[in-house]
Amino acid sequence: MGEFAIVMENVVKEFENVVAVNNVNLKVAEGELFGLLGPNGASKTTTVNILCGLLKPTRGSAFVGGYDVQRETAEIKRSIPHLFLSVALSRAYGFPKSSTFSTPVK
């Protein structure tokens, strides 16, 4: 898995009776840029939240930088660069309210 920065294999995320992410398979090479495009409700944010370690997939496996999103969430959160666009997401990462929009990105 060394040549891939992100790997998702048969990832499913269900919320009660709703399948939000359905059998996603994805490989992103190190240094490659990619984006998730789709209409509102297409589960782009849910997929990113799984990759960031904020949500656990119902089934399947995913790795970011070689770290398992189900078992190594702290390592993932420390290793990925991120810019928070929502207060809720930044609070989930433990940022205080006062620094949510004033923290410089390095």
Tell me the per-residue pLDDT of 95-105, one tens digit each, with 9 for 90 and over.
666 554 444 44
Number of domains in the chain: 1
What does the pLDDT look like over 19-44, one tens digit per residue?
999 999 999 999 898 889 999 999 99
Q: What share of the chain is helix, strand, coil (3-state, %, to 5)?
A: 25, 30, 45
Q: Residues with Cβ < 8 Å from 39, sequence gap 6 or more?
A: none
In a domain, 44, yes or no: yes
Tell me, yes or no, whether 79 lies in a domain.
yes
pLDDT digits over 45-86, tens only? 999 999 989 899 999 999 999 999 999 999 988 887 655 555
Residue 17 sits in a domain of what CATH number?
A: 3.40.50.300
Residue 106 lies in a domain: no
Q: Whole-angstrom Cα distance, residue 87 to residue 93?
A: 10
Q: How many other β-carbons are positioned within 10 Å of the β-carbon of residue 58?
A: 14
Full domain range(s) for residue 88: 4-99
- Let me know: does 85 contact 98? Beta carbons within 8 Å: no
pLDDT confidence of residue 83: 55
Q: Is the pLDDT of residue 2 over 80?
A: no
Domain-located, residue 80: yes
Q: Is residue 104 part of a domain?
A: no
Q: What integer pLDDT is reported at residue 103 of this predicted model?
A: 44
Give, for 9, the enclosing helix (H) or strand (E): strand 4-15
